[in-house]
Amino acid sequence: MTTTVAPLRAEIDPADRAANLSRAFVDASALEILDVAINREFQGEIALVSSFGAESAVLLHLLAQVAPDTPVLFIDTQKHFAQTPFYRRKLAKELGLTNVQDLLPDQREVEAEDPGGDLWRSNPDACCTLRKVRPLNTALSRYGAWITGRKQFHGGERLSLPVFEHKGDHFKVNPIVSWTPDDVEAYFEAHQLPQHPLVGQGFPSIGCWPCTHPVAPGEDVRAGRWRGKAKTECGIHRS
Ligand code: SF4
C-alpha cells in the first residue's frame, strides 16, 4: 500500500507556490497580504524596496502597521532630486520605520564606468545597471523575498502583475497591485500622509532627476520617465 505525502513547502516549485498564493490572496487586503508575507511565508527573509517616490507613502504606511522594523531598501543612485532624500528621512521618521537602508553604487565601479557622471545620457541601461540593479542585487542576496509598490494601473509591463511572483532567486510580493489612482489618493487623504514635494509640480512618478520629467494632464503616470526613449523600466524587476 502506498501513502501519499503532501510535499513540504520547500519542495514546492517556487512558481507554483507564488501562483497558489496569488490565487489565495487575490481579494485580500494589502494589510493581510503584508502580514502573511512578513509573518508567515517569508518570515525573517523579506525586505521592502521603496523609491520614496510619489506614491511610496501608502505602502510604507501599511508596512508600519504590520512590522515597522522590516528592512526598507532605498536605492540611492546619487542622481535623485534633492527633495527625495529629504522626503525619505521625513517619511521614515513620521511613520516610525526603524530599518531603512540606503543602497549606494560601488564607488570604484562608478569611477570606472561613469567617471563624468553622465552615463545616463549615452547609455541609460548601463547607468541603471550600475546605480540601481547591482546595488539592489547585492542587498537582496540576503533575502528570499521582497515587497514592491507596483500597480497594474501604471501600465506597460505592470498591467498583468499578480500579487505574488517568483523570478530568478526571489519571490516578489505586490500588496497594492490592484489599487487604482483613486484608492491611492483616498489613502493619502484618510491618513493625512505627506506628499513628495514634487508631486505638486506635475511629477506623478519620480525617479532620478536626469530621467524624470513632468507629466501633462491625461498622460500615463510614468510618461515622464525616460521621456523620448524606448526605455520604460530601470531593470530591477527583470534581474
Ligand atoms: S534612472 Fe537615469 S540617472 Fe537614474 S540610474 Fe537610471 S539612467 Fe541613471
pLDDT in 10s for each residue of the chain, 239 residues: 444 444 555 578 999 999 999 999 999 999 999 999 999 999 999 999 999 999 999 999 999 999 999 999 999 999 999 999 999 999 999 999 999 999 999 999 999 999 999 999 999 999 999 999 999 999 999 999 999 999 998 877 778 899 999 999 999 999 999 999 999 999 999 999 999 999 999 998 899 999 999 988 888 888 888 887 878 877 788 65
pLDDT at 239: 52
Does the annotation count 127 as an active-site position?
no
- pTM of the complete model beyond 0.85: yes
Which ligand 1 atom is the nearest neighbour of the CA of 131?
Answer: 5
- Longest Cα pair distance anywhere in the chain, in angstroms? 71
* Domains, the chain: 13-211 (3.40.50.620)
Residue among 74, 75, 79, 227 to mutate when testing ligand 1 (max atoms within 8 A of CB)? 79
Q: Considering only CA atoms, which residue is closest to atom 6 of ligand 1?
A: 128
From 209, 177, 224, 207, select the one nearest 52 (Cα to Cα): 207
CA of 177 to the centre of ligand 1 (A): 24
pLDDT at 220: 82
* CB hemisphere CA count around 139 (13 angstroms): 25
CA of 208 to the centre of ligand 1 (A): 6
60 sits in which H/E element: helix 56-66
Residue type, 215: V
SS (H, E, C) 99-110: CEEEECCCHHHH
Indicate the SS3 state at residue 207: coil
Residue among 51, 76, 77 to mutate when testing ligand 1 (max atoms within 8 A of CB)? 77
CA of 110 to the centre of ligand 1 (A): 13
Whether the Cβ atoms of residue 236 and residue 127 lie closer than 8 Å to each other: no
Q: Considering only CA atoms, which residue is closest to atom 7 of ligand 1?
A: 124
Beta-carbon count within 10 A of 87 CB = 24
